[in-house]
Structures are given as structure tokens and as C-alpha cells.
Structure 1
Amino acid sequence: MAAMMKKKSLHTTPPDGGWGWMIVIGCFLVTVCTRAVTRCISIFFVEFQLYFGQDYSRTAWIHSIVDCATMLCAPLGSYVSNHVSCQVGIILGGLLASTGLVLSSFATSLEYLYLTLGVITGLGFALCYSPAIAMVGKYFDKRKALAYGIAMSGSGIGTFILAPVVQLLIEQFSWRGALLILGGFVANLCVCGALMRPIHLREDGAQSSLKQELSTNESNNSTSPSTKCSPLSQDCSHKSLCYCSQKEYSFLLKPNFIVLAVSFLFLAYGCSPPFVYLVPYALSVGVSHQQAAFLMSILGIIDIVGNITFGWLTDRRVLKKHRYSCYIIAVALDGLSCLFLPILNSFQLLVPFSVTFGYFDGAYVALIPVVTGDVVGTAYLSSALGVVFFLHAVPYLVSPPISGWLVDTTGNYTAAFLISGFSMIFCAVLLVFVKLIKKIKSRRHTQSVPTSETKQEICTNGDLSCPATEEHKEV
């Protein structure tokens, strides 16, 4: 036992390999079983609409609720990972998600699907998604973007493989049989959870110092117990928990994180409708069911290329300092491609859209955890990702129904896709505007401080890609 503890203490920095590659494989499979399966729910859209005889808006709530529940409960996934274990969280999430899909195969109404496919499955995905992503950040530093690119490509590969498979399952076994089989497939999340071996890093000193501060405070107060503690709880465990939580989420007050968080609201609103309505839109312009499913497959495979190539490129020394700018460019181009979607009215024209949208979607998705980690630091990455995905919840919930309402009202998809594209472009413009303001302030401060302090001042007020260290906690 002592040897094991000693071995754990040797990980003063991320190993950038070793068991870390198994963590990448585990996270890859988690994204396949969560994000890819969520995307493929759009293939059930027409089946649900015809079977239950409902309009676009009411049917779209199914996809919205599962996405919303996944993101809304992401902080819960981070909490379980931080205070129990990542393995327990992912295994529990796998059981919940699988149960939700199996129960959905017995649905008799849309409201039933809202609960089983939406809430239960979404909660299960939430317990798996953010902890798995955070684990990759703990095992990698120098090759972090590449590791995230490979891990996050699971959503693209999964979509590429699952889209035609799900369509085939629906044709062979009906939508009920397809959901039942997907439930068994998603149970593999339990296997993924078993791969998530915990690691202890020097950067996790935030947690260690937390314990030291708590023990110091408790020893100082040992002679005079706090009156706030109940007689049944003299160890003040609730006070310690509050103190830990306060430190754990201290990054929420950083201006850099606040701006990034606001931008995620617009990004999340814009990115969801194209995935939900690409297949229905393709069917509405005369594309066959198999070709429409193939468009999702193309989007998925190109998503992989975006994940891995952008991850590899932004790990290069030339671009590593400009990952934040690369993220902005990817978001802007993804939004721009949505603006052209309403004029693409054939399979041959929709293929280029799937390629373009899929590539830049994979590119920025791979950089979200990297950019977030650059802002808050590795020690707080799990908690920060929980908050980031939580912010995606409301836009994911409302954007598909709003788009569905626009389709029902206008009789076409133009307004829905235009609002989606402009929302993503606004996200990029907001980040560019803030970046320009920070550069202007950085230049003014550089001119006003002595030369010896210039380097520290630039790090404090400059690019968001500046690593999160003790020197710029003021950011």
C-alpha cells in the first residue's frame, strides 16, 4: 500500500503518454456513446413525428431535453468525479443512460420520451461526459490538444458509423427495436469508466493546500469549537465542504472565464439546430432516407478530421500560443457555413455543407477544453468543464423547438438556419472584440510600467492562451 502511495506521488507533471493513451481511448468511447448517440437521435425525428402525429416543435423537444439534461447536469458529473471518483461517476452514468434508452423503446407518447430518452438518458450522459474529458487534461500537457482531438473525435467517428446503422436498425426492427439495441450499446460506458485510473499531480496542490488550510483552521479552533457547528457534527464537515466548494469554483470570478462563458451561450444556440434539422431538411428537398443518413455520416467523418488535424496543428510551436485565435476562426467559419444551407437544395450541394460544417465543428469542439484549461488551469478543469457544459444547457433546450416553431410558421428552414449561423458568428465577434480590448490595454500597461515588469504585465493582461499560473491569478 505504501508503495502504491509513493508511486502516485511521483506524478508531479502530466505523463503525456503511458496510461494516458488508455484514458484517451476511454474518453473516445465515452464521446461515441454520448455525443454520437445524441446526434443520431435526429434520425428518429421523422419516425417519432409520424408515429405520434405531432408537429416539428413538439417533436424537437426530445432532442432538446436530452442535450439540455446532459449539459445542465454536467456540474453534477464534475462533483461526483471530484468528491467520489471518475470511475464511479461514469459507470453510474452508463447504467442510467442505458436504462433510459431501453425504457424509451416502450414509449406510448412524446411526454414519455421526454422523461426516458430526455431526462434519464441525458442525466446518464452528464455523469460520463465532463469527467472523462477532464481526465484527458490531467494526463496530458505538451500534447494536450492532440490528445483532446483524438478523444473528441469519438463523436465524429460514432456519428459516421452509427448514422447508417441506426437507419438500418429502424428499417429492420422499427424505431422501438433500434432504441433497445442502442440501450445495450450505451451500456459499454461502464467499461469506459473502468479505464479511468485516477492520477495525482503537483498542480492539484490546490486541493492539497485546501486540506492543509482546513486542518490548520481546525487545529487553531480546536480549543474553541465554532458555534456554527451542531453538537452532532463537531468536525464541521459542512463548513469544510462549503470552503472546498468556494475554492473549487473561484475561477468563476475571472474576467477571462466570464467572457468565455457568455460566448458559449451563443455558440450552443447556433450549433444544435443544424444537427437536428439536417436530415428533415434533406428529406424536404427530395433527398432519399439513405442519402439523408449518409449526410450525417459525412458530417461525422469530417468531424473526425477536424478534431485530429486541428488538435495536431494547434500543438505545434508556431500555433500553440494562438490556440484561442484558432478557436475563434473555427467558430466563425462554422457559423458562416450555416448561412449557405437554405440555398442548398440537392444531395450534391448538401455534401459540401456536411464537409465544411463537420470540419469546423470538430475543430472548435477539440479546442473548447484546451482553451478552458488555459484560462482556469488543470487543477480546476473538471469543475470548469462542468460549468461550461452547464451553460450549454438552456440554449440546447430552446434552440431546436424555436427552430421547429420557425419551420412550422414560415413553412421552410431558412429562418432557422440563418439565426443559427448568425448566433455562432456573433460568438466569434464577441471574443474578437474582447481580445482587441485586452491587446489595447496590454500595450498601454506595457508603456506605463518599467521594462523589468513588462513580461509579467503582458502575461497578466494579454492573450487568453497564457497558461494559468500563480503569476496571473488576477486575470
Structure 2
Amino acid sequence: MSSHRQKASNTAEDDNVCNKREEMETSETKIPAYMDRGWAWVVLAGCFTTQMLSVGMFWCFGIFLLAWEEQLTDSVTKLQWIVSLLLLTAHVSAVIGSTLCKVYTIRQVALIGTTLATTSFVFASFSTTLWHLYATFAIAGIGLGIVMESTMVILVYYFKKRLGRANGIAHTACGLALFIIPPLAQFLIDQYGWQGALLIIAGLVANSGVGSAVFRPSPIELEIRHKLNNNKITEDKKYMELTKLDDKAQNGTEQTYANSISHDMELGAGGNISKKPKCKPQTLLDFLLDVELLKSFKCLSLFTAFFWFGLGYTLVTMFMPARAANVGISPYRAAILVSIMGATSSIARLTHGCILDYNIMSVKTLTATSNIVNALCCILNPLSDKYAYLATVSAVVGFSTGVTNSVIPVVAADFVGTRKISEAVAFTLVTFGLGTLVGSCMTGVLVDQTNSYALPFILAGISFFLSTLFIFSTTLSAYIRKYCYKKPSHQPIDTEDNATGKETRQMSIHVNELDIYQKL
């Protein structure tokens, strides 16, 4: 009977443990009712519109290089600084956008960026020198970077199960912009000149604010902002109170001493007044940047990988029309090459979400595969100057770069997790922007020296290979630690040493109990 009762009690305990586990799993995997449905699809439509009319404008300015070369200067090195400053400030200002999202709602942040970018492009349309374009395009990049950060973060707050697909649909807007904007920009330049074309593009960027207006704050966003603000206020208040008590206690007044002891007992400080408080107010650097991310090997690998990807991506996308024009192809046909890249990029941005959602391929493998394809296309690009060959290379490069560009938030979440997704995306975009700056500068110098685009495209292929290596660096390091540095096997312990170890543990337990009793 006793054995039956024991079995029954054991089964009851097992059932309770299983029920608790199921409750914990369901509470962790429970998805809010507003996610993946309803207003989330309106937010997705707003993201699509905003990215098409603002972020999609990045890569259309390669068409303006030919017009600037005719009217301002014939130095490619000087001209590339206009687009390089735009790309650099756009990706570096993602940190500013991440900081603003802690203070304001994502809708307000997106509208601030749209206003700043529109105003800058309007002033750029009245420029007469290169320095005017440098300044206005740098400020416009800050605005576009803030918009880009807000459109990447808002989807995480509204989608859970369908995040991969929603992210792909939103980033399809950039591919569609690559398909539509370059021929439109070339048409506007022919009709109104480059200054009139810039003014019309400023109007298009202003209309992206319509899409940002539907970024209604979600409950998760409001809860995160509320917790951040409350934590900062409580930490600062606690620090100020403890600092005041410490100063008063050092003056030696009995009343202050008694009050400080009672206050320390309430705060759980142990009555030690002269001890410095543990909590410190948040510095400006801590508020702007999460420095802890820079101490992680996984995060550094992610950031370095997208630095090399940004270097190669700029060379391919920005200088493909110039490469075609350099071999005698007309400006309209050269602009169509960018449109081909945009069309295949849109297809890739739509299809990659299904690959990730149905677990056909991991996000690391997908990113590395697309980078290898990019590398091969760039290295093989200088083999022929025929238009059909360049169009085929542009189509393949557009498809593979479309995949890598659209998985930036997903890769960041895979490396870092969702808790610090905003900071991780911001750092990734910063390193991407630094890569675009380095790539543009190196291309300008190489083209001025060699009068050919063969060497820059080979450099782009090498950078894509390096990006793939850093994507898999964490997997390689884990493999090396597992198989090359095996832990030494446990040596058998003598019975005498085992007995003495037990005695010392028992003695330490008795001493700890005695200390507790004396404290009580």
C-alpha cells in the first residue's frame, strides 16, 4: 500500500511539474492580440510607403553624378564625397534615432527625420558649389537615417509570427524605389536640370511623412518607454538622496546620523553611511550608446560583417551606371541597370521571408550564401563590357543584395536577442555606413588613377567574402573551442582527500550557522 501511495504521490508531483512548465511556456510564447493582425497591416503599409519615398532615395543619387561631373567638376574623388557623406550620416545617425525612440514615440521620431531630410534637399536644390552639396546632403542623411531606424524598429512591436514576411514586404519598397526612381531621376534631370530634379525629390521625401503618420504607439512600445523613464528617474533620485545623506553624515551631526541610519535601513544599505552608493546616474554616453554590445564577440562579428558588406554594396550599386557609361553605354541604358537591380531586389525581399518563416534555411546561412553570390558576380563583372552581360550581373547582384539588406533586423536579433534589438540595429547601420564611406573613397581614388572600374569591382568581391567569414566567425569559434580545446578529464580523488573535504565542508557550514546566529 505504501508503495502504491508513493507512486501516486510521485505521479501527482510529476503532473504538477508538467503543468507548471506548460504554464510557463504558454506565458512566454503568448502573443498579444494586436500583433500580426488588424492595425499591424496598416503599420506595414505605412512602412512600405515611408521606405520607398525616403530610404529608397539613397541609391538614385548615382544618376546625379554624371550631371554634377558636367557642371561642377570632373574629379570622381570629389564628387563621390557628396553621396558618401549622405550614406555615412544616414547610417551613423541610426544611433540618434535609437536614442530618440527612448524619449519620443516612433511616429514622432519618423516625422522629425522626414522634416529634416526634406528641408535639406530643398536647400540642396539651390546649391552652386560642391561645399553646399556636402553640407546639405550630410544633414539630409541624418534625417533619412532617423527615418530608416524608426521603420526597422516599428515592425518588431507589431509582428511576431509573421515578422520575417512583414520585414520582407516592407523592404521590398527599397527595391521598388531602385526600379522606379533612377529612370525618373534621369528624366527629371533632362527636363528640369539637376537642381529642379532635386527639388521634386524633396517633395517626394516629404510625402513619406504620410506613411509615418500611421505608426500608432503599440502597448509594448509604451511599456518599454515607461520602464526606461521610471528606471532613470528612480536611479537618479536614489543617487541624489544617498549622496546628500553621505555629505550630511560626514559633517558629524547626530540628528543626520540617526536619520541616515533609518533611511539606509529602509533602502537596504546595511547602515553603512560612509559607503558610496552603488547606483550611479546615467551618463550621456550610456544613454546614447549601449557600450556593453561592443564587449561581446558575437556583436563585434556582426558589426564587422556589415562593415565589409556596406563597402561592397556601395561599389556595386552606386558605380554600376558610371561603369556602364565609362564603356560607351548611354545614360538612360545605364540607369536601367540600376532598375534591373531594383526589380530583382524586390523579388528577393519578398521571397526571403518565406524561407525564414518556414525554417528552410537559417538566417546566417541565407546571409552568407547571398554574400558569396555577390562576391562571385563582382569579381566576374570586368570580364565583359557588353550590355547583356552587365544586365545579367546586375540582376543577380540585385537579388542577392536584396536578401542581405532586408535581413539586417533578423540577423541582429539572432546575434543579440530582441531585448537590445534597437541598439544592435543602430550599431549595425553605423558600421554599414562606415563601410560605404571607405568604399566610395577608395573607388574615387582608384578610378582617378586607373580610369577604369575593374579594380573597384574586384575589391567589392573581396569585401563580400570577408563579410561571409565574419558572419560565420561565431560558429567557427564555437567549433574550435569544442573540438580543439577539450576539457581535461576528471581525475579520481582519494578516499582520504574525499573524507577531509566532507569534514571541511561540514565545519564551514557550522561556522556560517554560528555567524548567522550571532548576527541575529
Q: Settle same-fold status: TM greater than 0.5.
A: yes
Further displaced range: 370-379 or 275-284? 370-379
Partner residue, 2:15: none
Name the CA distance, whole Å, in 1 between partners of 2:123 and 2:393: 35
Name the CA distance, whole Å, in 1 between partners of 2:401 and 2:364: 15
- Shift, 1:397, TM fit: 1.7
Matches within 5 A, 1:189-208: 189-201=208-220, 208=227
Cα deviation code 1:95-152 (max 9, x no counterpart): 1111111111111111111111x21210110121112101112222222211111111
Name the CA distance, whole Å, in 1 between partners of 2:209 and 2:134: 24
Name the CA distance, whole Å, in 2 between partners of 1:441 and 1:215: 42
Please point out which of 306, 314, 324 is paired with 1:272: 314
Name the CA distance, whole Å, in 1 between partners of 2:101 and 2:143: 14
Please point out which of 315, 318, 323 is paired with 1:281: 323
Name the CA distance, whole Å, in 1 between partners of 2:484 and 2:328: 58
Further displaced range: 62-71 or 335-344? 335-344
- Shift, 1:77, TM fit: 1.0
- Shift, 1:36, TM fit: 2.0
Please point out which of 383, 387, 397 is paired with 2:427: 387
Partner residue, 1:182: 201
Query: Taking structure 1 as reference, are residues 377 and 59 closer, same or farther at Cα in structure 2, changes over 3 Å only?
Result: same
Name the CA distance, whole Å, in 2 between partners of 1:162 and 1:137: 28
Q: Does residue 355 of the first structure (1) align with residue 375 of the second (2)? A: no
Query: Taking structure 1 as reference, are residues 172 and 205 closer, same or farther at Cα in structure 2, changes over 3 Å only?
Result: closer
Partner residue, 1:156: 175
Rg larger in structure: 2
- Shift, 1:214, TM fit: 6.0
Q: Which amino acid aligns with 1:42?
A: G
Q: In 2, are the aligned partners of 1:372 and 1:385 still within 8 Å (CA)?
A: yes
Name the CA distance, whole Å, in 1 between partners of 2:127 and 2:239: 59
- Shift, 1:444, TM fit: 8.0
Name the CA distance, whole Å, in 1 between partners of 2:242 and 2:390: 73
Partner residue, 2:449: 409
Partner residue, 1:95: 115
Matches within 5 A, 1:337-356: 337-356=377-396
Q: In 2, are the aligned partners of 1:336 and 1:421 still within 8 Å (CA)?
A: yes
Query: Taking structure 1 as reference, are residues 448 and 365 closer, same or farther at Cα in structure 2, changes over 3 Å only?
Result: farther
Name the CA distance, whole Å, in 2 between partners of 1:203 and 1:403: 45
Cα deviation code 1:292-339 (max 9, x no counterpart): 1111111101111111111221111343xx211111111221122111
SS in 2 for 1:239: coil
Would you say how many aligned residue pairs link Structure 1 and Structure 2? 431
SS in 2 for 1:131: helix
Name the CA distance, whole Å, in 2 between partners of 1:208 and 1:197: 19
Partner residue, 1:424: 464
Name the CA distance, whole Å, in 1 between partners of 2:215 and 2:486: 45
Partner residue, 2:414: 374
Q: In 2, are the aligned partners of 1:332 and 1:428 still within 8 Å (CA)?
A: yes
Name the CA distance, whole Å, in 2 between partners of 1:446 and 1:318: 33
Please point out which of 277, 281, 284 is paired with 1:239: 281
Query: Taking structure 1 as reference, are residues 408 and 219 closer, same or farther at Cα in structure 2, changes over 3 Å only?
Result: closer
Q: Which amino acid aligns with 1:65?
A: L
- Shift, 1:16, TM fit: 2.1
Gaps in structure 2 of 5+ consecutive residues: 1-29, 248-276, 490-520
Q: Does residue 110 of the first structure (1) align with residue 130 of the second (2)? A: yes
Query: Taking structure 1 as reference, are residues 220 and 50 closer, same or farther at Cα in structure 2, changes over 3 Å only?
Result: closer
Name the CA distance, whole Å, in 1 between partners of 2:234 and 2:192: 60
Query: Taking structure 1 as reference, are residues 227 and 335 closer, same or farther at Cα in structure 2, changes over 3 Å only?
Result: farther
Q: In 2, are the aligned partners of 1:92 and 1:190 still within 8 Å (CA)?
A: no
Query: Taking structure 1 as reference, are residues 227 and 434 closer, same or farther at Cα in structure 2, changes over 3 Å only?
Result: same
Q: TM-score, normalised by structure 1?
A: 0.83
Partner residue, 1:324: 364
SS in 2 for 1:42: coil
Q: Which amino acid aligns with 2:384?
A: L
Partner residue, 1:31: 51
Q: Does residue 171 of the first structure (1) align with residue 190 of the second (2)? A: yes
Q: TM-score, normalised by structure 2?
A: 0.76
Q: Percent identity?
A: 25
Gaps in structure 1 of 5+ consecutive residues: 1-9, 229-235, 450-475
Structure with more relative contact order (C-alpha pairs < 8 Å, separation 6 or more): 1
